[in-house]
Amino acid sequence: MQEGQRSKSLLRYPGGKSYAISALMPYFPTDITEMVSPFFGGGSLEWECASRGITVHGYDIFEPLVNFWQHVLNHKEKLHARILEFPIPLPKEEFYRIQKEYDNLENRLEKAAHFYLLNRTSFSGTTFSGGMSPSQKNWNPRCIEKLKKFSLGGLFGSSGEVTVGCEDFSVSMEKHKDIFAYMDPPYLLDNSTLYGDRGSTHKDFDHMQFYNSVKGMNGKWAVSYNDHPELLELYKDYNIHTPTWRYSMKSKGGCKESYEILITNY
């Protein structure tokens, strides 16, 4: 994958690694056959790993996200058919109505379809945590067709396997403590509301609990984090790398460099 080339993930996701794949993959062990990802999110890097024949055990604490991926993996035809019924463009009042009333939906297929709709029509893919994108340029027939074609065997040309479950990181990491783990937790920031439902999975994240879970892993692991003094001190006994990549800032008319670190125990 060339520098700047994006993955084939269906979602636009804050903090996603769609532009970082070519920068991060060289740091991964070359003998991986199986891995766990406790913070699956948009899954850009995880789908890339699966395309290389790696079995990916994906997890996320955000149930609407997990429900969407489970429908992509197991009920894609029904999901695609339902999404075809949504208007292009989506009226502004309809966007905010769906965002407000999403939790009242009881049918899991309906929730998966509306999650995709909100993700593609929201500003920068913030889904529940931001407003509607004025241009809606990412909500178009192409993204619906992309979902229709999405599969490891077809789109990726690989026999790799991906599962996505809804678990807290402490549970999923304990369950898969002996295999390679790639972890992309929320940034350590004073104020952020990017993830979950209006920031629910970001504001309450326990970075020290996560650190203790990382220390309990028996296999090799890699953690993507923001370059923060407290994190550098906390993980000072491990290897800290500074991969760089550029990601698009279309609203700014240019590109911006990453400012992340990659922490490994190997």
pLDDT above 50 (res 4): no
pLDDT in tens, 146-202: 999 998 765 555 667 999 999 999 999 999 999 999 999 999 987 655 555 654 555
What band does 7 get if pLDDT is binned at 50, 70 and 90? low
Domain range list for the chain = 21-264
Sign of CA dihedral 106, 107, 109, 113: negative
pLDDT in tens, 119-138: 999 999 999 999 999 999 99
Phi and psi at residue 159, in whole multiples of 5°? Answer: -100, 10
What band does 117 get if pLDDT is binned at 50, 70 and 90? very high
What band does 19 get if pLDDT is binned at 50, 70 and 90? confident
Superfamily of domain 21-264: Vaccinia Virus protein VP39 (3.40.50.150)
pLDDT in tens, 203-212: 789 999 999 9
**Span 36-52, mean pLDDT?**
94
- The per-residue pLDDT for 196 is 56
